[in-house]
Structures are given as C-alpha cells and as structure tokens.
Amino acid sequence: MKKTLSITLLLFTNLLGLYAQNTSVESGKAYEYLQNERKRADLVLGDAKMPPIDSLKKAEKILQDALVYFYTDKVQALAKTDKYLAGRETDINFDLSVIKIKMGQPDVAIALLKKNLMSKDASAYAKWMKNDAVFENVIKSPELSPIFKKFEVESKIFNRTAIQTFYQPNISEAEKIAGLSKFWSEVKYNFAYFQNVPDLDWDKLYLEYIPLVQNTKSTLEYYKVMQKFCASLKDGHTNIWSFSNVIRDSTAFAPPIRTMLIEDKVLIVNVLNDSLEKSGMKTGMEILSIDKTPVKEYAKSIMPYQSSSTQQDLILRTYTYSLLRGNKDQAIELELRDIDGKIVTRKLPRKGYPKPKMNEPFEFKILPNKVAYFAINEFETDKAQKKFMSIFDTLANTNALILDIRRNGGGNTNYAILGCLTDKPIKKNQQFVRRYIPTYRAWGNEEGIVWQQELSMNAMPNGEKLYTKPVILLISPQTGSAAEDFAVAFDSMKRGKMIGEATGGSTGQPLMMTLPGGLMARVCTKRDLYPDGKVFVGIGVQPDIKISPKVADIIAGRDTVLEGALEYLSQQK
C-alpha cells in the first residue's frame, strides 16, 4: 500500500490501466540497476557525516556512470513510458547534490537541485531538503530561497496547528466542532470509497453530529462520538484514535487472552500469559457474558465504533481486537463455560501482566511428505523475506510450499517472495486516486472530480531463485492491507490455490491528520482493484477452497485450514 512519490496521469482510462499492469521486463531491469547503483554509492559513503574525499569521488563516479547509462537511447526510450524509471534521473541528481555539497561545490549542487525543484516531484524534494541539515545553506541561497518561500506558503495550507490541541479532560466546544469539521472536510475531499456507502449522506450526518459533539461532557466522550461518526464510512483504513495516554488508559487495555467468534460462539482461542493459563484459563473456553451482560449484547455495544470494510472485518474487530478492551484500572468479569460444560466466573485485571507472547515475523518448518510451511506474519519489516531467501536452497528440495498470511495485518507490501515463485513479471493492484479540480465545477462538472490512475510498476521475478513445485496460500479475515495486496498478486499469478476464509477487504493509502484533544485520524485516499479490474475492497479476497475453523477444532488444538491444504496437496499427486 505504499504511496509513490509522483502522479503523472490525469484520466481514468482502460488503456492506461492495461499499461500500468504491463511494465516491461527491460524497464524493470533498468530501474533495478539504477537503484542498485544508488545503493552502491551510499555504501561507499558510509555513515560518516563528512566522508573522506576519496569516498566522495568514488561515489560521485558511480552516480555519474549511472546517469550515462540512463541517458543511453535504450533506457531513454523505456523511460518515456515508465515514470518510475524516469524518476531515477532526479533521484540520482539529488544524491549527487549531497556529494557536491560535501565536496565544497555548492554552486554545482544548487544547479542540480534547482532542476529537481522544477520537476513534478518538487514538493517531495523540498520536504527532504528541509529535513536534512546538509542542505541548510543552499536553501538560503539567492537561487533557491524564492522557490522555498513558495513551498512554505503552500505547505501551511494543510499544516496549521491552531486546532491541533493536546488532551484536556474536557476540551472546548469550539475545539470539538472544529475537529468534527476538519474530519468531515478531509473525508469529503479525499475519501476513496464513497461508492461502498451509496446511501450515506455525509453532509446530513455531519449536521446531525454537531449537537452530539457539543453535548459531550468530556474529551473521552467526544472521542467515542468521533469514532462512531468515522465508522459510518465502513472502511478499515479510515479511523480515529488517540495519542493521549489518558484516553489509551481508559480504552485500550485488555487481559492477555485472544478471543474469536466461531460457529456463533465466543471462544478463547489463545491464552498469552503463563500465570493465567496455570490459573485455569484455557483455550476452547466459551465466554457467556462480560460484566454480567450476555456476550452478544455486550459485543453489540462495541460494534458501532468499529471502522471496518466488510462483515468479516467487523466481526474480527469486535470479537477479537476490541471485545475485552477498556479502562486499565477496571477488572473485567467473564462468565465462562469450560470444555467439560462447567460454568465458572473469573474477574481478570486488565493490567499488571508481563509482555505477552507475540507472533514471530515468520515461522518455518518442514511438514510430512516434504511439504514446506512458511508463515509471513507481518510486512512491517523485511525479516520474513530475508529468512525465506536464506533458506531457499532447503525449500528448493521440498515437494510443495504452503505460505501462510492468515495472521498478517499488513505494513508495506513486499513481493520478493512471490518473485521466487515465477519467471514472469508480477502484476500489482490497479490504483486510482481522486483529484478534485475546483475549476471543473465552475465549468459545469458538478463534482469537480477526476479519477486518476497511478502507474503500478510490475514486481520483477527474482531471476536466480525459482521455486517450481506446487504452492498454497492460506488466508483469513485477519489478512489485511499490504497482506491483501500480496494475496491479490498471488491470485493473479495463478500460481496455486488460496485456502481459508475471505480476507478483511481493506487496503489503501491513508492520509494522516491531527485533531483537537490529542486525537488522530486517517482517511483512505486510494482505490485498489485487482490487475484485471475486479473489486476486492469491501468484499475481501476470496479463497479457492473455503475452510473455517470449528469449535471442536479449537478445543482439540487442530489447525483444520492447514490440514485442508495438506489434504489438497496429497490429492494432486
């Protein structure tokens, strides 16, 4: 879901959509070569604030040679139809400008930077320069100072701090209305999925919520009203939360047990603390009530505050992520039925536990019949990718591979593992963003909106590592965001079956913002589709073979989804 730096297309067309998914192998190789040369130059420079002159000259030569390669007729022809490849020129110029500054040649650096500040990515380069002390003097130069003054004026339009106030027990009525209004406005002009809530009248709802926020008696109450307002958009990448410790202490603490709705029963599916386990809290116990309220009724009181894109996403957020959360100083009372049918009551503190056992970034094991199992549990880091590459020789000698992303909630999509499963380019999501043009409204276009397509550069095959045996991908409602992008790419590759349950159905590029009272918000600004245009946001990536866990499976400690994958593989012989 990572956003690209530049936007070059202004029209939503099928022709451009086809190109976006068919970036040539030659273009991809040229891009990778230039990026690798940039990395090589960076390694030569090292981490020293002022590298030795020999290192500066060596890095300069690497980058200058890279530009010579970029300016060859072949690469120039490729760059005309590939914005990512074309962008290597300004990026290399940017790298060179740093070297020139450190070599005591500011005039040369200014000439390079001036060209970048006139490019379509000018605002991004200006932001990087403002945040790096190495550019401090050149920014003040007569050549660049007027350009930066223009950027400062434009940047302040969205970055004023008047209503970015900190937490107080009860912020003012004006702040509450301002926060509601800011979020309403950002959604109105930037939200990508109004099509998924066709019956929502956003302006009408805004008017209805003004008195609701006015009547709140505390910032905590205001926070909950804002969450409910946001949830009406039904999007998992559009949320409101708080960076205030006070609000987190009042809302975000839960005992270290994991719950799930299975076959219409709320079960404990994992106990993440040894002392709780020894005290009798066991996997497979059914929760009957919470704080003397029947569990389904209790869950209904939580649901309206969950921002979710699909029914399976809503159930996950309600019954797994939020069910037991609350004030850290208030214990939670659970009425439980154990696996023998005995009903017991337990009152559990929400705080005071050691750090719970967490999923590792990856898991690898060899199963019977030489089937390799590799779980990718997050895309926040590249740890899983690195592990996969390091054990590839072992994987190559197996009879089949099961990739498991059932517990992967996202991060930044990494296609490197998929690149080892094919020798062809890997098509990524089609991506579209809203472009609001006021003049279009003045010319008679009522909405003033153009849907613009982001060119999506194909992921390249590894080229050296190629796994040709059968592959299975395991998915679940917890598979979200970047992991869904991964699932979409795998599905489009037609490399193997997907087994499990539909994914969460939510990905995109959120726009972050600060609201009054220590609140934060994000709004999904990007619409994603399959490479062939099929919709999955608001629906979920669907498995080829649906297998859902049963109550008996949880009690028995069985992973029936994994067992189903093994059974499917055994039938393919």
C-alpha span between 569 and 496 (Å, rounded): 10
At residue 153, the pLDDT reads 77
At residue 573, the pLDDT reads 66
With bands split at pLDDT 50, 70 and 90, how would you rate the model's confidence at 19?
very low
Looking at beta carbons, which pairs linking 547-555 to residues 24 or more positions away fall under 8 Å? 547/499, 547/500, 547/501, 548/262, 548/501, 549/262, 550/262, 550/263, 551/262, 551/263, 551/265, 551/267, 551/284, 551/286, 554/260, 554/262, 554/267, 554/269, 554/283, 554/284, 555/283, 555/284, 555/339
3-state secondary structure of 26: helix
Range from 7-11, 20-24, 127-131, 344-348 that averages highest in pLDDT: 344-348
Neighbours of 379 (CB within 10 A): 25
Q: Is the distance from CB of 336 to CB of 345 less than 8 angstroms?
A: yes
**What value does the mean pLDDT take over residues 171-193?**
96
Read off the tokens for 103.
Answer: 């070599």
Q: Against a cut of 0.95, is the pTM above it?
A: no
Q: Is the distance from CB of 379 to CB of 413 less than 8 angstroms?
A: yes
C-alpha span between 362 and 442 (Å, rounded): 54
Q: Tens digit of pLDDT for each residue in 396-437?
A: 999 999 999 999 999 988 899 999 999 999 999 999 998 888
Read off the tokens for 571.
Answer: 């039938």
Q: Which residue has the tokens 């937490």?
A: 167
C-alpha span between 32 and 460 (Å, rounded): 9
Residues 6+ apart with CB under 8 A from 172: none
Q: 113 burial class (0-12, 13-18, 19+ CB within 10 angstroms)? A: buried
With bands split at pLDDT 50, 70 and 90, how would you rate the model's confidence at 446?
low
**Which residues are registered as beta bridge partners of 78?**
none
Average pLDDT, the chain: 91
Residue 488 region by backbone torsions, left for phi larger than 0, else alpha for psi between -120 and 50, else beta: alpha
At residue 11, the pLDDT reads 32
* DSSP symbol at 172: -
**What value does the mean pLDDT take over residues 361-382?**
96
Closest by CA position to 258, among listed 499, 6, 554, 480 = 554
For helices 88-102 and 25-45, the axis angle rounded to 10 degrees is 10
Q: 560 burial class (0-12, 13-18, 19+ CB within 10 angstroms)? A: middle
Supply the DSSP string of 215-236, one letter for each residue: T-SSHHHHHHHHHHHHHTT--T
With bands split at pLDDT 50, 70 and 90, how would you rate the model's confidence at 6?
very low
Pairing verdict, β 371-376 and 362-367:
antiparallel
With bands split at pLDDT 50, 70 and 90, how would you rate the model's confidence at 99?
very high
Rounded to 10 degrees, the C-alpha dihedral 522/525/531/533 comes to: 120
At residue 568, the pLDDT reads 97
With bands split at pLDDT 50, 70 and 90, how would you rate the model's confidence at 10?
very low
Q: Is the distance from CB of 562 to CB of 402 less than 8 angstroms?
A: yes
Looking at beta carbons, which pairs linking 529-536 to residues 24 or more positions away fall under 8 Å? 529/429, 529/430, 529/431, 529/432, 530/429, 530/430, 530/488, 530/491, 530/492, 531/21, 531/427, 531/428, 531/429, 531/430, 531/488, 531/492, 532/492, 533/17, 533/430, 536/484, 536/488, 536/503, 536/505
Q: Is the distance from CB of 126 to CB of 138 less than 8 angstroms?
A: no
Rounded to the nearest angstrom, the gap between the alpha carbon of residue 303 and the centroid of all alpha carbons in its chain is: 23
Which amino acid does the sequence have at 485?
D
Rounded to the nearest angstrom, the gap between the alpha carbon of residue 384 and the centroid of all alpha carbons in its chain is: 16
With bands split at pLDDT 50, 70 and 90, how would you rate the model's confidence at 560?
very high
Pick the range with the lowest mean pLDDT from 13-17, 26-30, 173-177, 523-527: 13-17
Closest by CA position to 277, among listed 354, 359, 340 = 354
At residue 319, the pLDDT reads 98
Q: 281 burial class (0-12, 13-18, 19+ CB within 10 angstroms)? A: buried
Supply the DSSP string of 32-100, one letter for each residue: HHHHHHHHHHHHHHTT-SS--HHHHHHHHHHHHHHHHHHTSHHHHHHHTT-HHHHTHHHHHHHHHHHHH
